[in-house]
Amino acid sequence: MRRDSAVTLPEIYIVRVGETTWDREGRQLGHLDSPITAKGVEQARTAGRVLRKVLTDRGAVCIEASPLGRAAHTAALLCAELGLEPSAMIVSPLLIDHDLGTWQGLTTTEIDAQYPGARLAREKDKWHYAVPGGESYADVHKRMQEWLARERSARVTIAVTHRMISRILQGSYEGLTPEQTLRRSHFQDRVYKLYDGRVEEIQYDATGSQEP
């Protein structure tokens, strides 16, 4: 499937949503929303500057964003840095964050108090465990496969999404096992390029200069 996706979608760049106030508080976001911080705004702008250097034909770019407000804000900042019209951005429901059900809005301390032993149970089978009212990583994997398989007219797609979604996208694209996929992550000082069945990490500093 990765090879077919590479033909349909020659280049995909994954950008993680900028830091939010709930990230700072250690709260689970899931399908709930939280505004991005000043640091998150700068993270989005820096990612945009990096992409501006990498993309040679910005007229062939489409930005697909998670439907959550924090993703829309990040995507708008990317558009501004890339000199793209707002029409270059579309909302993709499949890119929405991992649904964490009853844990959403809670810190780990609050989860442990309200649902004793639940986080430990999840760690024992993280791929298949679904938080009550939410979804499992296996569920997310299915919708990332669906997203990758979709045909798009743009030569380059920038996916503005969330850390947990990014790791599944990377694993789905490369055909990794669940264990390998769960070891992936997405820090906010890097962009991931999916091309020809491979995932390339583009790491950069606060100025947008790429690191070796």
pLDDT > 70: percent of the chain: 95
pLDDT of res. 212: 65
CATH number at residue 144: 3.40.50.1240
Task: Give domain status of residue 210, yes or no.
Answer: no
Check if the beta carbon of residue 30 is closer than 8 Å to that of residue 134: yes
Number of domains in the chain: 1
Whether residue 212 lies inside any domain: the answer is no
Token code pair at residue 207: 């100025």
pLDDT of residue 6: 38
Fill in the amino acid letter for 48.
G
Residue-level pLDDT at 8: 44
pLDDT tens column, 68-84 = 999 999 999 999 999 99
Which has the closest alpha carbon to 51: 169, 185, 157, 173?
Answer: 157
Domain assignment of residue 24, yes or no: yes
| pTM tops 0.95, yes or no | no
209: in domain = no
In this prediction, the residues of the chain whose per-residue pLDDT falls under 70 are: 1-9, 212
Is residue 139 included in any domain, yes or no? yes
Q: 70: which 2 tokens?
A: 């924090």
Cα separation, 192 vs 163, in Å, equals 11
pLDDT of residue 39: 97
Rounded distance between C-alpha atoms, residue 101 and residue 103, angstroms: 5
Q: Which residues contact 110 (CB under 8 A, 6 or more apart)?
A: none
Give the structural domain span for 83: 2-203
Angle between helices 38-54 and 69-82 (to 10 degrees): 40
> Is 211 inside any structural domain?
no
